[in-house]
Amino acid sequence: MNNISLFSGGGGLDLGLEAAGFKTLFATDIDPYSCATLQKGKIIAAQKGLHFLSDCIVHRENIIGLRGAFILDIVGRKKGEIELLAGGPPCQAFSVFGRRQGRSDPRGQLVYEYFRILNEIQPEAFLFENVYGLMTVERGEVFRQALEKLRRPGPGLKYEISVLRMDAVEFGVPQFRDRIFIIGSRNGKTAKKPESLTVAPDDLMKNGQYTYRTVKDAFRGLSRIGENCISNHTGRVHSSRIIRRYATMSPGQRDNFTRINKLDLKRPSFTIIVGSDKGGGKGHIHPTEAREVTPRESARIQTFPDWWVFTGTVRHPIRQIGNAVPPLLGFAVGNAVRQEIFGKKENSTTSAIELLSQGHLFD
């Protein structure tokens, strides 16, 4: 089943969808570093004998100038012949971290470009990802309008809509991350939220579920900084004043100056965040060392494979990581689309964990 990827970023959703059996034909983003990450990941995956992005054309362009006819022409398909269109327009305009400016924020207008390309391509189904705040900003008016545009993006075109609210921590991701996935299908079928893979420690265990994965699970087997050449595993240089402050903090405590939290080895991570457009991308504070986590440690929390290399310097990797859909979460929602919209047998979660190199989480 073919997929067209918009707002692809660092590739988290694409990795998850491919683990669920979709084949990404085209991925696009305005950010040159994200596109370089996708291209590099495609090459490394091929070297490892993995299929990720093997047939994908990576295209850098501002979506405002991108046309559905161009996408269809470059992938050799006609309108209506693509199975899935997937992507998450920038969410900062609807996030509590983005001051919830909604449509008054230029980033909030990019959702309308998604609607336009949806109409121009007319896939069998679509997947639209965003922060939960999209449902409540402007007292829900933005969400109601978005649903209506997704339901009827163009003349004579109608999609049956499903809205899934999913927290990544329930699907094996060692992080609390509340997101919504809006799924549309032209065949009239709907999708329901998949059964959780993990549950809170005090919940009744059933059907072989794991408890929530923790920061300790995420970091299992990861070398210390400087011990080997793993990519993106270089930390920030802190002043002695910041080091002293971080050293006195307790797990779970929030730093009043940097406004980030100290992680707890025994709990899932707080949501990985992006930082500002002017630079400030930060990770959280390491649970046992007086420093912020490295981009690689944040990528572990997001369930990216260690071999997936993020390009750019300083802020670029952490922005790609913080903006991403965790691959394991992408797999879970992709599996639901695969099974309930397209009527195909779901892919094994065990095989996805292996494909995405996440065995350390369930060791």
For residue 357, name the pLDDT band (cuts at 50, 70, 90): very high
Q: Tens digits of per-residue pLDDT, 38-77?
A: 999 999 999 999 999 999 999 999 999 999 999 999 999 9
Of 35, 56, 91, 229, which residue is the catalytic one? 91
pLDDT at 233: 94
What CATH fold (topology level) applies to the domain 2-198+325-362?
Answer: Rossmann fold (3.40.50)
**Mean of the pLDDT values across residues 300-304?**
98
Confidence band for 228, pLDDT divided at 50, 70 and 90: confident
Say whether pLDDT at 291 is over 80.
Answer: yes
Question: Average of pLDDT values for 221-235?
Answer: 89
Contact 318, 295 (CB under 8 A): yes
Per the CB < 8 A criterion, the answer to whether 108 and 100 are in contact is no
For the stretch 88-131, pLDDT in tens is 987 554 544 444 454 555 455 788 899 999 999 999 999 999 98
pLDDT at 229 > cutoff 90 = no
End-to-end CA distance of the chain: 32
CB burial class (10 A; 0-12, 13-18, 19+) of residue 221?
exposed
pLDDT at 208: 67
Please state the rounded mean pLDDT for residues 274-282.
Answer: 55
Does 91 qualify as catalytic in the annotation? Answer: yes
CA 250/CA 118 separation, integer angstroms: 47
Q: Per-domain residue ranges for the chain?
A: 2-198+325-362
Look at residue 323 and give its three-state secondary structure.
helix
Q: Which of 23, 75, 30, 28 is nearest to 45 (CA)?
A: 23
- Of the candidates 92, 108, 152, the one whose C-alpha atom is nearest the C-alpha of residue 126 is 152
β 84-87/57-60 pair status: unpaired
Classified as helix, coil or strand, 5 is: strand
pLDDT exceeding 90 applies to what percent of the chain? 78
When the pLDDT of each residue in the chain is averaged and rounded to a whole number, the result is 91
| Whether residue 334 has pLDDT greater than 90 | yes
Beta-carbon contacts of 317 under 8 Å, excluding residues fewer than 6 positions away, are 33, 232, 295, 299, 310, 311
- pLDDT the model gives residue 281: 57
